[in-house]
Amino acid sequence: MIRHVVLFKFKAGFPEADKAAWQEGLDRMKGNIPGLLELTHGPDVLHQDRSFDYAIVADFSTVEDLEVYTTHPLHEPLKKYSYPNSGRIIAVDFALQP
């Protein structure tokens, strides 16, 4: 299994309506993208200096399933919200040990 973790540091002024649309789009992906086993996401609750603002954690059976997700029609439109409104985005993809 592959775990995909993405952290977002938002720019000031990310419009709340756009953020809500982005979050709703994240919710729509679960159960609707082949190979996407689980998807959780949410805002940071500690707000420390080292904290990012938002996290997405998604699990896939294979690397190929992750590649399908990356360009899937439900995922692609969300980039128009996250990319221009983020000062920094970092990701890691790793194999879960049995």
Output the pLDDT for position 98. Answer: 76
Output the pLDDT for position 97. Answer: 86
48: left (phi over 0), alpha (psi -120 to 50) or beta: beta
What DSSP designation does 62 have?
S
Tell me the domains of the chain and their CATH numbers: 2-95 (3.30.70.100)
Q: Within the chain, which residues score under 70 in pLDDT?
A: none
Whether the Cβ atoms of residue 78 and residue 33 lie closer than 8 Å to each other: no
pTM: 0.93
CA distance 3 to 39: 10
Output the pLDDT for position 5. Answer: 98
Output the pLDDT for position 77. Answer: 96
Whether the Cβ atoms of residue 8 and residue 23 lie closer than 8 Å to each other: no
